[in-house]
């Protein structure tokens, strides 16, 4: 039996009109409930060779196993004309807490991407893991079996569960980083679905006699996706305010003493629906390091029981907090954890981007952060990036770390190997001195052609757009500076444009909403400046602002702070109230 029942009545602390538990559950709740702990009829569906896809419930259910059913949108119309089914294939997202992967594992996934996927790429994501795009149904089992063979899996990287747990990159730089990484791994394991469905379906595991139990997630799993990070200030490279739950490491004299816990961040919205908005996480207070798992569980189960299971657009923790009140949610968490939060400890975030290039760690080993544009590792004609990483993996004795900015760290390199690794990186275009700081501080989500929700280009649009921005920056003597610039192909916000200094949110092909005024630390949500404009119009808007920033900025003032100080846009203070004002 699963522990689905709340420990107290969900809304005995707040007004009854905020109770949504009596509303009809969404269809997602039905298929989760009927799925027999995530099995559905996936196994039978796999045998059906007539279609390249899964039936509708299974196509949703496979998400909780880490896959999305997609088709290539570039050739959709052409195939329809030929009376062919769309080119249905799956995207598979690996679980990689803290983004750590060994060279041996890398070589195995590199080979798989090359030989078994339609697109032949490895895509590093904004959540410190990688995706294969274009696996056909017939090859899915071998993909999972390969991952299993090398000690990886894709469980709970999608769907209504706790997703891949992020951790500030380069954990071996100090003891605090190491402890943070350990916590990220522990949280990932602790909150993982306990069903054997994954093992049975993909790894041909025996069905056990004992019934399945989901003591933390419940048999209906969570109301919506749930995202967790462990972050080590002053670097906010994981973008805490995009996440439901964040453990902010607090160190004293170089030793981790505990965490400030931030709850309820999230960036998605829906065009035209003002009940949806990006929201920053609230600081609940400080907890000792030893209590982190207990609090993680209490927060997840509170959201499990109090989250909106009727309307998926308002189901994330950020909306639960707004509906029941932050104080009430926090009180319930304390009740469940059996412990109160202590007053928060001071900390500061100063930056988000990765430190591209070499840094030396405490153990005298070196770490090389490679800038991977849009996280796409592919063998382009002029720069075989994917092969380059594979060549490094062949000689590298440390590990790789994927960052939440879609970059790759070659970690723990002995001084004696530094030159060899750099030589390979340069030869394959993985180090390119022409990359400007601007390019390195820009992000795009995947978008077309694989994302079914894309409204405008993002990944394929950004590189050329940055070339134009580079020219503008140079014109105003800003080549050695940068603006955090991000583009997402739709308002779901996978490229985290809603925490950018300049954010572009896809509205229609070639048209975007332009947001301004986030800050470099990632602690302010930008505001809508112009709606539904073309790329030329975007450039016409931002060039004069960049010129003015260059001319009138205060020392070290970022572009986002400048546009707020100059009243180009007013700051978003409390997005639940003022985001649409």
DSSP 8-state secondary structure symbol assigned to residue 553: P
The answer to whether residue 298 forms part of the interface with ligand SRM (CB under 6 A) is no
The Cα–Cα gap between 183 and 193 comes to 18
Residue in 63, 95, 127, 163 annotated catalytic: 163
Is 306 a binding residue for ligand SRM by CB under 6 A? The answer is no
Per the listing, tokens 């003891």 go with: 175
User: Does the annotation count 94 as an active-site position?
Assistant: no
Query: Do the Cβ atoms of 170 and 367 come closer than 8 Å?
Result: yes
Candidate list 32, 490, 496, 520, residue with the active-site label: 490
Which residues have CB under 8 Å from 7's CB, separation 6+? 301, 335, 336
**Is 93 marked active-site?**
yes
CB count within 10 Å of CB 142 equals 13
Site size for ligand SRM, by CB under 6 A?
33
Q: Quote the radius of gyration of the chain (alpha carbons, Å).
A: 23
Q: Is 495 in the site for ligand SRM (CB under 6 A)?
A: yes
Nearest CA to 230 out of 291, 169, 160 is that of 169
The answer to the question of residue 158 lying near ligand SF4 (CB under 6 A) is no
Q: Which does 242 bind (CB under 5 to 8 A by kind): ligand SRM, ligand SF4, none?
A: ligand SRM
Q: Is 135 in the site for ligand SF4 (CB under 6 A)?
A: no
We find the least distance from the C-beta atom of residue 346 to ligand SF4, in angstroms, to be 34
For residues 413 and 515, what is the distance between their CA atoms, to the nearest angstrom? 40
β-strands 399-402, 100-101 pairing: antiparallel
Minimum Å distance from CB 443 to ligand SF4?
11
Q: What tokens were used for 500?
A: 């950018």
Q: How far is the CB of 189 from ligand SRM (least distance, A)?
A: 17
What's the rounded Cα separation, in Å, for the pair 244 and 166? 12
Cβ(516)–Cβ(563) under 8 Å? yes
227 is catalytic: yes
Residues 130 and 109: beta-carbon distance below 8 Å: yes
Q: How far is the CB of 377 from ligand SRM (least distance, A)?
A: 12
Residue 451 within binding range of ligand SF4, rule CB under 6 A: yes
The interface mask with ligand SRM, positions 219-258, x = CB under 6 A, is ------x-x-----------x--x----------------
Which residue, 94 or 296, is less far from ligand SF4 as judged by CB?
94
Closer to ligand SF4 by Cβ: residue 170 or 374: 374
Cα–Cα distance, 305 to 227 (Å, whole number): 17
Q: Identify which of 21, 37, 13, 3 has the alpha carbon closest to the alpha carbon of residue 307.
A: 21
Q: Among ligand SRM, ligand SF4, none, what does residue 384 contact (CB within 5–8 Å per kind)?
A: none
**Residue 49 DSSP code:** -
Site for ligand SF4 in 483-522 (CB under 6 A): 488-490, 492-494
Catalytic residue among 39, 93, 95, 520: 93
The two three-digit tokens of residue 327, written as one number: 């104080």
CB burial string 510-520: b at 16+ within 10 A, e below: ebbbbbbbbbb
Member of 143, 232, 445, 473 binding ligand SRM (CB under 6 A): 445
121 binds, among ligand SF4, ligand SRM, none (CB under 5 to 8 A by kind): none
Report, in Å, the least distance between residue 67 CB and ligand SF4.
Answer: 15
Q: Which of 159, 233, 493, 522 binds ligand SRM (CB under 6 A)?
A: 493
> Which part of the chain contacts ligand SF4 (CB under 6 A), choosing from 256-264, 282-290, 414-422, 442-450?
442-450
| Least Å from the CB of residue 177 to ligand SRM | 20
Q: Is 451 a catalytic residue?
A: yes
User: How distant is the alpha carbon of residue 138 from its chain centre?
Assistant: 28
Sketch the per residue contact string, 385 through 424, with ligand SRM: x for CB under 6 A, - otherwise. Answer: ---------------------x------------------
Kindly state the tokens that stand for 35. Answer: 């799925």
- Give the separation between CA 244 and CA 265, rounded to whole angstroms: 5
Q: Which is nearer to ligand SRM, 39 or 163 (CB)?
A: 163
Select from 8-16, 212-220, 262-270, 568-576 the region that touches ligand SRM (CB under 6 A): 262-270
Please count the residues of this chain forming the interface with ligand SF4, following the rule CB under 6 A: 13
Closest separation in Å from C-beta 227 to ligand SRM: 5
Contacts of 227 (CB under 8 A, 6+ apart): 127, 162, 163, 166, 242, 243, 244, 245, 266
CB 145 within 8 A of CB 50: no
Angle at 281 between CA 275 and CA 285, to 5 degrees: 140
Minimal distance, residue 469 CB to ligand SF4, in Å: 20
Buried b (16+ CB within 10 A) or exposed e, 450-459: bbeebbbbbb
The angle that helices 385-395 and 103-116 make with each other, rounded to 10 degrees, is 150
Give the C-alpha separation, 260 to 349, whole Å: 13
Q: Which residues bind ligand SRM (CB under 6 A)?
A: 68, 70, 91, 93, 125-127, 129, 131, 157, 163-164, 225, 227, 239, 242, 266-268, 316, 375, 406, 445-446, 450-453, 492-496
Q: Which residues bind ligand SF4 (CB under 6 A)?
A: 445-447, 451, 453-454, 458, 488-490, 492-494
Residues serving a catalytic function are: 93, 163, 225, 227, 445, 451, 490, 494
């Amino acid at each position: 039996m699963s522990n689905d029942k709340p420990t107290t009545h969900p809304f005995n602390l707040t007004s009854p009109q905020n109770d949504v538990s009596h509303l009809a559950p969404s269809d997602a709740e039905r298929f989760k409930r009927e799925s027999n702990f995530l099995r559905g009829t996936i196994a039978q569906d796999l045998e059906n060779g007539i279609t390249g896809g899964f039936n509708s419930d299974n196509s949703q259910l496979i998400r909780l196993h880490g896959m999305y059913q997609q088709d290539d949108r570039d050739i959709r119309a052409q195939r329809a004309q030929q009376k062919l089914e769309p080119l249905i294939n799956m995207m598979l997202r690996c679980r990689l807490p803290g983004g750590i992967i060994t060279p041996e594992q890398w070589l195995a996934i590199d080979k798989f991407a090359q030989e078994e996927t339609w697109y032949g790429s490895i895509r590093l994501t904004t959540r410190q893991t990688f995706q294969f795009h274009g696996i056909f149904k017939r090859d899915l089992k071998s993909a999972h079996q390969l991952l299993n063979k090398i000690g990886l899996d894709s469980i709970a990287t999608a769907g209504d569960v706790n997703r891949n747990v992020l951790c500030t990159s380069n954990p071996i730089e100090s003891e605090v980083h190491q402890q943070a990484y350990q916590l990220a791994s522990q949280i990932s394991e602790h909150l993982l679905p306990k069903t054997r469905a994954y093992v049975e379906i993909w790894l041909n595991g025996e069905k056990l006699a004992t019934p399945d139990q989901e003591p933390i997630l419940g048999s209906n799993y969570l109301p919506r996706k749930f995202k967790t990070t462990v972050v080590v200030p002053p670097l906010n490279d994981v973008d805490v305010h995009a996440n439901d739950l964040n453990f902010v490491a607090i160190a004293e004299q170089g030793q981790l003493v505990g965490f400030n816990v931030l709850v309820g961040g999230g960036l998605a919205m829906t065009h035209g629906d003002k009940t949806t908005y990006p929201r920053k996480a609230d600081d609940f207070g400080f907890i000792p390091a030893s209590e982190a798992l207990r609090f993680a569980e209490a927060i997840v189960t509170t959201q499990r029981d109090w989250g909106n299971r009727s309307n998926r657009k308002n189901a994330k923790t950020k909306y639960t907090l707004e509906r029941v009140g932050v104080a009430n949610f926090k009180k319930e968490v304390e009740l469940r954890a059996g412990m109160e939060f202590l007053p928060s400890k001071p900390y500061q975030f100063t930056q988000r981007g990765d430190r591209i290039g070499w840094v030396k760690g405490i153990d005298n080993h070196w770490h090389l952060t490679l800038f991977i544009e849009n996280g796409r590792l592919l063998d382009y004609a002029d720069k075989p990036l994917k092969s380059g990483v594979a060549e490094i993996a062949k000689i590298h004795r440390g590990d790789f770390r994927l960052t939440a900015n879609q970059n790759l760290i070659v970690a723990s390199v002995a001084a004696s190997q530094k030159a060899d690794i750099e030589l390979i990186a340069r030869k394959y275009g993985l180090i390119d001195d022409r990359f400007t700081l601007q390019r390195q501080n820009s992000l795009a989500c995947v978008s077309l052609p694989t994302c079914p929700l894309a409204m405008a280009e993002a990944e394929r649009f950004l590189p050329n757009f940055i070339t134009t921005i580079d020219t503008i920056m140079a014109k105003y003597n800003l080549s050695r500076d940068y603006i955090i610039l991000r583009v997402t192909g739709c308002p779901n916000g996978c490229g985290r444009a809603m925490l950018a200094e300049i954010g572009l949110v896809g509205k229609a092909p070639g048209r975007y909403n332009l947001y301004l005024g986030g800050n470099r630390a990632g602690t302010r949500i930008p505001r809508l400046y112009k709606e539904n404009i073309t790329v030329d119009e975007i450039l016409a808007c931002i060039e004069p602002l960049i010129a003015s920033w260059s001319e009138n900025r205060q020392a070290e003032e970022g572009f986002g702070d400048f546009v707020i100080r100059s009243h180009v846009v007013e700051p978003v203070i409390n997005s639940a109230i003022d985001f649409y004002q």
